[in-house]
Structure formats: structure tokens, C-alpha cells
A and B are shown apart, each in its own frame.
Chain A
Amino acid sequence: AQTVTQSQPEMSVQEAETVTLSCTYDTSESDYYLFWYKQPPSRQMILVIRQEAYKQQNATENRFSVNFQKAAKSFSLKISDSQLGDAAMYFCAYRILYGQNFVFGPGTRLSVLP
């Protein structure tokens, strides 16, 4: 069974600084997708970034980028120039290529300090 682990229950970062959130996963599949979702206090889950496992290039989306290490089964999220609005729960999620459901990690609560 696939599992997703986020080893940092809580993280904090100073405004304008950079922070990296860790995610590792366990799978025997070779083709899959990885995602980072953000859940602010309003509780709506918002997609931050997506990575296809067959792509070697790391995905970027404005201030958000990932470090995808397929062999190590690692998928970390880097947030640059952190803003107060980045404060949220961040979930790493995995989906196999032809699957339907996401498998979520337990989440990392990110605080942004002014």
C-alpha cells in the first residue's frame, strides 16, 4: 500500500525567508503524481503544485518549487519569500497513474512570523 510521510508536524519561518517542507512516500509504482495542497484556516484545500513522476525537471509555481528525488522517494516543497498568507496546513499527496484517489500525508502546519 502506498503511504505518505511528512516528518515535520510544525514549522515556522520569518516573513520573506525561505522554508522547506519535507515529504517522503512509499510506492512500488513507477508512474504516479505528487501534489502539495495548502489548507488555510478557512479549511478549503488549495492546490499549490503538482509533479509528474516521469518528469525529471522539478515543478515550479511562482514562489513555490519542489525538489523531487524519485530514487529516494522524496518530494519536498520550498517556499521562497514567505508571506503571512502562506500560513496554513500543507499536505503532500500521492496518486498512482491510473488510480482515482489521493493518499495524503499527515500534514505540516506552517506558521509565518512577521
Chain B
Amino acid sequence: EPEVTQTPSHQVTQMGQEVILRCVPISNHLYFYWYRQILGQKVEFLVSFYNNEISEKSEIFDDQFSVERPDGSNFTLKIRSTKLEDSAMYFCASRTSGVYEQYFGPGTRLTVT
């Protein structure tokens, strides 16, 4: 069964550094999402992406964040200058048209020191 994959599984970075989290959505999916989950807290929406542009974003998704679909398979989340409070699990999700549920990847644990 097709799955959403994410790399790396764990990323450690120093405060102020840039990080890029990578996701490969399911191949025929058209809608892509990033969520984050700070340890012990609920999953929070960051951004949705469709037709090569952001369709919706939350207050969390400020100018430090950006998303890109650089080719036909990858979907990336970039954090330009990481802060300690960016430490969290980041989940990528995707869905196809006409389907309501989103399929989640296994997550990337980001640790900012």
C-alpha cells in the first residue's frame, strides 16, 4: 500500500540554522500538508499546498517557514532560522481529490539546541 514518507526521521540543529524537512507524498495525491506536534501537545496545522501554491496557512506559519514542491515527488518544509520553540515532530500529509481523509507520514523529529 502506498505511504507518505519523510526524511530524516530525526534532525538535530543549532538555533539560528536553516533546516529542510522532506516529504514524499503518495504519488497520485494533489493536496499536501504540514502539521507539527510539540511534545505532549496536540497536532497543529501549519500549511496546505495545492497546484503549486499555498492554499491555507495558520498563524504559526510565519515568514520563517516556507514550502516547496521542487519536483514531481518531493514536498519540503524549510525553516530559515530555527528557534528553540521549533522543536517538535513535523508531520507531512497528503490526499487525493475527492477524498477527505489525509494520509500522514511517520514524522520528522526536529530538535533545536
Contact B44 A104 (CB under 8 A): yes
Q: Given the complex of chains A and B, what is the CA–CA distance between A50 and B101 in angstroms?
A: 8
Q: Given the complex of chains A and B, what is the CA–CA distance between A11 and B112 in angstroms?
A: 32
B58 at interface by CB-CB < 8 Å: yes
Main secondary structure of the interface of B (DSSP, over half): strand
For A, the interface residue count at a CB cutoff of 8 angstroms equals 22
Contact A44 B45 (CB under 8 A): no
Interface string of B33-57 (1 = CB under 8 A from A): 1010000011111001010000110
Contact B106 A104 (CB under 8 A): no
- Which residue numbers of B lie inside 8 Å of A, CB to CB? 31, 33, 35, 41-45, 48, 50, 55-56, 58, 89, 91, 93, 100-107
What are 7 A-B residue pairs whose CB atoms fall within 8 Å in the complex?
A: A42-B106, A43-B107, A50-B101, A100-B55, A103-B45, A104-B44, A106-B42
